[in-house]
Amino acid sequence: MKKKSNGNNESNGNDRNNVNESHTSHASHNSQPSVIPPRGDYKNLLSYQKSEVIYQITYRFCERFLKKGDRTIDQMVQAARSGKQNIVEGSKAATTSKEMEIKLTNVARASLEELLEDYRDYLKVRDFPI
């Protein structure tokens, strides 16, 4: 609802708001928070944040529960690191190549699946329930 003009071309701002409203709705469409963060911004990816925790936990798990010199230590730590690093590289590659982003994300997934299987093996050989 508009106020009547007082004759000196002043308004209550509604005219400006009406013009901006249509313009703003277009702008807000572009400025809405996205489910997928901007490319290269890996630190905000939930997959990266989880892989960082997985890496840290795996490192500590291996130090505490596996014997020094066990090859499994290196395999598990490297699989956890690979998962994390490939998420970073895939996110960075996304700025130039969607195909490379997908390939590196799949490598990260495969590394983390390998790590999961190592954890399952640890439980199985010790007769723990899975």
- Per-residue confidence in pLDDT tens, the chain, 130 aa: 444 545 554 445 444 444 444 444 444 445 555 555 557 789 999 999 999 999 999 999 999 999 999 999 999 999 999 999 999 999 999 999 999 999 999 999 999 999 999 999 999 999 999 8
CA 22 to chain CA centroid, Å, is 33
Domain boundaries, the chain: 42-125
CATH number of 42-125: 1.20.1440.60
- Tell me how far apart the alpha carbons of residues 73 and 118 are, in angstroms, rounded to a whole number: 10
Residue 44 structure tokens: 């905000």
**Is the distance from CB of 56 to CB of 83 less than 8 angstroms?**
no
- Tell me how far apart the alpha carbons of residues 108 and 66 are, in angstroms, rounded to a whole number: 24
